[in-house]
Amino acid sequence: MNETLERWSSRRAFILAVTGAAVGLGNIWRFPYMTGENGGSTFLLLYIAFVLLLGLPVMMAEILIGRAGRRSPMQSLGHLARAAGASPHWRWLGVFGVITVFFILSFYSVVSGWSIEYLVESINGNFAGGTPQAIGANFNDFLADPLRMTFNHTLFMLLTMSVVAAGISGGLEKLNNLLMPLLYLLLIVLAVYATTTHGFGTAMAWLFTPDASAITLSVVLNAMGHAFFTLAVGACALMAYGAYMPDHQSLPRAVAAVAVLDVLVALLSGIAIFSVVFSQGMDPGEGPGLMFVTLPIAFAELPGGSLWLAIFFLLLLLATWTSSINLAEPMVATLQGAGLKRGRSAALVGVAVWAVGLLSVLSFSTMADVHWIGEMNFFDLVTTVPTDFFLPVGGLLIAIFAAWVMSAEAAERALDAGPGGFRTWRALVRYVSIPLVVVVLLSGLF
Ligand code: PHE
């Protein structure tokens, strides 16, 4: 065990940190537009099923590897593999995780930059009384302005990397302690407000009335990718946090708390967003612009709309900040594991991710016609492939490693749920989660 590694100061701090990683753009930006594009309730139900059958067990697998290894993901995997007499090449799974978070963070920072822009614009009252046409045009103008987008993207990377450079207990704990409770408070206020809009009933019916006929392969694939994304599972990012987990804390209990908090945020923001969407007779399948176009339109007509909007974007920004810190952690921990100082590792990671993020910025203007796979521009590519493909593949390998490869004693100790809890978890991973990912991935490929 690496005694020099820091620890979260308490069980609560660990749960807050993992919740901070899980709750972010996935819940507030991606969940609504994916739900909108994939037929509402069907997507929602599949997503919840995947969270229960895949997300939770694999999340435990991922964190327990980090906790048992107490090193950077790459080193933990290599060390545990060697200890169990398996191939040390398992450490390359840590590198796959680093590649995954690298691309995710590159667009994550760009979209978080959009919320900085929208926060400032709503404080300035730019949307007050605006017509739908003017507000829609405003979003398109912004996307077409690479300089403004780069400015916000740069600001967000600086915000993220400065906390990462300060180390987990110095930077992140203080931030989480302050921000997470505030976030829930703001979301509850917004959802309560949504019940007063006349689209509330339609939104509830659309979100919660099941319709089995709407299940298609692409809806299933999207829901699986989203379950991994929203829980931050499959990229070894939570593995990096597991390394700092305190002793004597039951992992299943911690993870269950995180999943409830995570799904709650998605549901609350879904209810808030679709209530305004339906109140205004808008299209739920608008795509990645859904939140940025529909909410300003909706709120523009309401008394105090600019204030509500500013609160919403502030909330989103806080949530994305704690997630992006988690996305950066495996990269920084890996460089640190290779002997670099923490501050320098953070700077290197920040600059590299920022540079690739510029490609996402430009794919709305200069590079709009540069296509990679089929019709996808760079932004479409990085928002799709790492989430729907890399995360499930990473999650699958993580599950195989924890349930079949590493030593059962070490896994049982790191799960900290007693022998019965361990056997139940392992059976679930071996016979439900692993086959389920394989089946869905293979049917997606063929
Ligand atoms: N879970 C985060 C969100 O919902 C995104 C994320 C994915 C974070 C993978 C870490 C690892 O916004």
The model's pLDDT over 151-206, given as tens digits with 9 standing for 90+, comes to 999 999 999 999 888 876 556 677 777 777 877 887 888 788 889 889 999 999 99
The dihedrals phi and psi of 210, each to the nearest 5 degrees, come to -65, 145
- How far does Cα 88 stand from its chain's mean position? 29
Q: Which residue has the tokens 């931050």?
A: 232
pTM as predicted:
0.93
188-198 in b/e burial notation, b at 16+ Cβ within 10 A? ebbbebbeebe
Question: What is residue 168's predicted lDDT score, i.e. its pLDDT?
Answer: 63
Long-range contacts of 191-196 (CB under 8 A, 24+ apart): 191/268, 191/269, 191/271, 191/272, 193/272, 193/308, 194/271, 194/272, 194/275, 194/276, 195/275
Which residues have a Cβ under 8 Å from the Cβ of 120 and sit 6 or more positions away? Answer: none
d(CA 367, CA 352): 19
Q: With contact defined as beta carbons under 8 Å apart, do 324 and 24 qualify?
A: yes
Name the residue at shortest CA distance from atom 4 of ligand 1. 26
Atom of ligand 1 nearest to the CA of 26: 4
415 pLDDT above the threshold of 90: yes
Task: State the distance from the centre of ligand 1 to the C-alpha of 301, rounded, in angstroms.
Answer: 33
- How far does Cα 370 stand from its chain's mean position? 27
Structure tokens at 383: 């928002």
Higher pLDDT, 314 or 97: 97
Task: State the distance from the centre of ligand 1 to the C-alpha of 327, rounded, in angstroms.
Answer: 7
- pLDDT tens figures, 64-111: 999 999 998 999 999 999 999 999 999 999 999 999 999 999 999 999
* Confidence tier at 371 by pLDDT (50, 70, 90): confident
* Confidence tier at 10 by pLDDT (50, 70, 90): confident
Is the beta carbon of 237 within 6 A of some atom in ligand 1?
A: yes
If one counts every other C-beta atom within 10 angstroms of the C-beta of residue 357, the result is 27
* Confidence tier at 3 by pLDDT (50, 70, 90): very low
To 10 degrees, the CA torsion angle through 177, 180, 182, 188?
-150
Best of 104, 323, 382 to mutate for ligand 1, by most ligand atoms within 8 A of CB?
323
Is the beta carbon of 100 within 6 A of some atom in ligand 1?
A: no
- pLDDT tens figures, 39-61: 899 999 999 999 999 999 999 99
Is the beta carbon of 24 within 6 A of some atom in ligand 1?
A: yes
% residues pLDDT > 70 (the chain)? 97
* Confidence tier at 235 by pLDDT (50, 70, 90): very high
Task: State the distance from the centre of ligand 1 to the C-alpha of 353, rounded, in angstroms.
Answer: 16
Is the beta carbon of 26 within 6 A of some atom in ligand 1?
A: yes
Question: What is residue 4's predicted lDDT score, i.e. its pLDDT?
Answer: 45
The mean per-residue pLDDT over the stretch 209-222 comes to 89
The mean per-residue pLDDT over the stretch 205-215 comes to 88
Is the beta carbon of 326 within 6 A of some atom in ligand 1?
A: yes
Question: What is residue 2's predicted lDDT score, i.e. its pLDDT?
Answer: 41
Is the beta carbon of 16 within 6 A of some atom in ligand 1?
A: no
The mean per-residue pLDDT over the stretch 388-415 comes to 97
Spatial CA neighbour of 429 closest among 413, 444, 412, 446: 412
Question: What is residue 283's predicted lDDT score, i.e. its pLDDT?
Answer: 86
Atom of ligand 1 nearest to the CA of 319: 12
Which residues have a Cβ under 8 Å from the Cβ of 225 and sit 6 or more positions away? Answer: 387, 388, 389, 391, 392
Which residues have a Cβ under 8 Å from the Cβ of 122 and sit 6 or more positions away? Answer: 296, 306, 309, 310, 313
Task: State the distance from the centre of ligand 1 to the C-alpha of 226, rounded, in angstroms.
Answer: 10
Average pLDDT of the chain is 90
Task: State the distance from the centre of ligand 1 to the C-alpha of 101, rounded, in angstroms.
Answer: 9
Task: State the distance from the centre of ligand 1 to the C-alpha of 329, rounded, in angstroms.
Answer: 12
d(CA 20, CA 175): 10
Is the beta carbon of 27 within 6 A of some atom in ligand 1?
A: yes
d(CA 402, CA 345): 28
Atom of ligand 1 nearest to the CA of 320: 12
d(CA 76, CA 64): 10
What separation in angstroms does the CA of 278 have from each of 34, 38, 40, 295, 302?
16, 16, 13, 11, 15
Question: What is residue 172's predicted lDDT score, i.e. its pLDDT?
Answer: 67
Spatial CA neighbour of 394 closest among 92, 156, 161: 92
